[in-house]
Structure 1
Amino acid sequence: MQIKLLGAALLMAAGPAFAAGPEQGKFSMSVFGGADRPISGDVHTGAVAPVPDLGPLNPDLAGVSAELRIRSRDHQQIYGTARSFGLEVGYGLSDRSEVFLQAKETSADDGRVRVGAAYVPALDTELDVFGRFSGYDAYTWEVGYRYYFGDGEGVRPFVAARVGATETDDIRATFEIPDAAITISNAPFYKKDWALSGGLEAGVHVPFTERFSMKFTAGVNYIDDLSDDDSAIGGLGLAAINDTGRRVSVPLSITGRWDF
């Protein structure tokens, strides 16, 4: 789909050679949206934790011990590809470069996966453990620098770098062992907090008029570790599984730009 849109844009721009990109001392405003696919980073890591008595979780299992065998699960497994959209204000340093301020929201719906098993020695069997994690919502503010190639007219490739901070909303988790009738509901997992973020991108800038143009962009984004909350899972010996949360992703976006 991205390739078809890019091809259409290039054909439409093949007519008059409008100026494309920044102008020294001039401002621009852009709106953009697209998809953000995670390629690395765990929502939680793995752990093995003994539970001497399941009674506090299910009174019918008082005196029965188990061993929780939790496996790591990454952003792609739990949330899949996220949606993103945002705004950008740019300022031209020359006809080849500009600086910009960007505000962006990235979101994904809640996800449920099998996170591991509970081994019960008395039964010599493993019982599936499932986790449902609340939606992922992150708000990013970054400053960046973009450099354009070419002579200032027609389609121009560019590269850019960004750095800033991202605030991620709190994430809660519900853990279930259906075969043992055990549920830990709505447990705090990550706190709402800020983390370092940044990215690199490359793309093409396609002019349609003297003042309006579009960009087609791909790149890589990074968000550092999230702020863990162990208040509900620490007692189960799982305090270390959410000492992570970093996210590396590949964004694909389409931008509409107005120059002033």
Structure 2
Amino acid sequence: MHPATGHPTDETIAMNKLLLATALCTLAPAAFAGPTEGRFSMSVLGSLDTPVSGDVHKGATVAVPDLGPLNPALAGVDAELRIGARGHDQVYGAAMSVGLELAYGLSERSEVFVQARQTSADDGRLRVGAAYVPALATELDVFGHFSGYDAYAWEFGYRHYFGEARWARPFVAARLGATETDAIQATFDIPAAAITIPDAPFFEKAWAVSGGVEAGVQVPFTERFGMTISGGINYIGDLSDDDSALAGLGLAAINDTGSRVSVPLSISGRWDF
């Protein structure tokens, strides 16, 4: 403050500007995690993967001329199996997915990556159809119990970012690769007729083409760490059917399917090297 005029001196004004600039730098993020040309990053992923399309099995109607081989007490009694199609959403519901990703920056706006994920859902039991018995003029409920769903994906992809690396950056990405799904067994039972077909092979352990697209936002916290939130669409092709037990019942065609379309909601932590 100037002693004569009472107004701030030039030195005081300069000092105030310096203090203001320092405060603003303190409030702003000191650095921004994200893609950089020639730099690697690693991410840990977690998501809730909700199926929206795709069948675990198709529908079929087949005649069974004699129930005796399934239950000796019903020897000579014929029936008609009426199996309905059941989707992944009905059998398994939402699955949990965890994974790792390694990315390489092409520029400050783009990167390529390789991603490994495991997707799992608990076993499911539900009504899959009915057995119509003419002798009784009635339908008996048929239930299916399917073993757990476990799939392991290896996919390569490209991600593109928009805007500047401050606070939050939107992005889009696409992936393509293959997924190995563990073998699945199914137990079918008709409680009212005391009939059970236990642990019938349904799908073999095999690979199928897979991929997906997603959009999200990355939020940087430090120069080396950030988090992302994203949503998108995943696809896994048809599974490899196993008819060793179903063919004898005339149901060999019901498992000629298995593809899965799902909507993942994901969150990840990212470390830049």
In terms of Rg, which structure is larger?
Answer: 2
Give every structure 1 segment of 4 or more consecutive aligned residues whose post-TM-superposition deviation is greater than 4 Å.
none
Matching residue of 2:88: 75
Q: Does 1:206 align with 2:219?
A: yes
Any conservation in 1 of the 2:68–2:77 contact (CA below 8 Å)? Answer: yes
Unaligned stretches of 5+ in structure 1? 1-13
SS at match of 2:73: helix
| 1:94-141 Cα shifts (integer Å, max 9, x gaps) | 000000000000000000000000000000000000000000000000
SS at match of 2:243: coil
Matching residue of 1:152: 165
Distance 2:69 2:58 in 1: 25
| 1:155-186 Cα shifts (integer Å, max 9, x gaps) | 10000000000000000000000000000000
TM-score (norm 2): 0.89
Specify the code of the residue in structure 2 equivalent to 1:50: A
SS at match of 1:251: strand
Q: Does 1:95 align with 2:108?
A: yes
SS at match of 1:123: coil
Distance 1:238 1:51 in 2: 11
Distance 2:207 2:31 in 1: 41
Q: What is the correspondence of 1:13-52 to structure 2 with a 5 Å cutoff? A: 15-16=28-29, 18-52=31-65
Matching residue of 1:255: 268
Deviation (angstroms), 1:190: 0.1
Q: What is the correspondence of 1:1-260 to structure 2 with a 5 Å cutoff? A: 15-16=28-29, 18-260=31-273
Matching residue of 1:9: none
| 1:61-120 Cα shifts (integer Å, max 9, x gaps) | 000000000000000100000000000000000000000000000000000000000000
Any conservation in 2 of the 1:17–1:154 contact (CA below 8 Å)? Answer: no
Aligned length: 247
Among all aligned residue pairs of Structure 1 and Structure 2, give the percentage whose two residues are the same amino acid.
73
Specify the code of the residue in structure 1 equivalent to 2:164: D
Distance 2:34 2:65 in 1: 65
Specify the code of the residue in structure 1 equivalent to 2:97: S
Deviation (angstroms), 1:16: 1.6
Unaligned stretches of 5+ in structure 2? 1-26
Deviation (angstroms), 1:153: 2.6
Matching residue of 2:24: none
Deviation (angstroms), 1:154: 2.5
Q: Label 1:45 to 1:17 Cα distance change in 2 as closer, same or farther (>3 A).
A: farther
Measured on the aligned residues, the alpha-carbon RMSD in Å equals 0.9
TM-score (norm 1): 0.94
Matching residue of 2:20: none
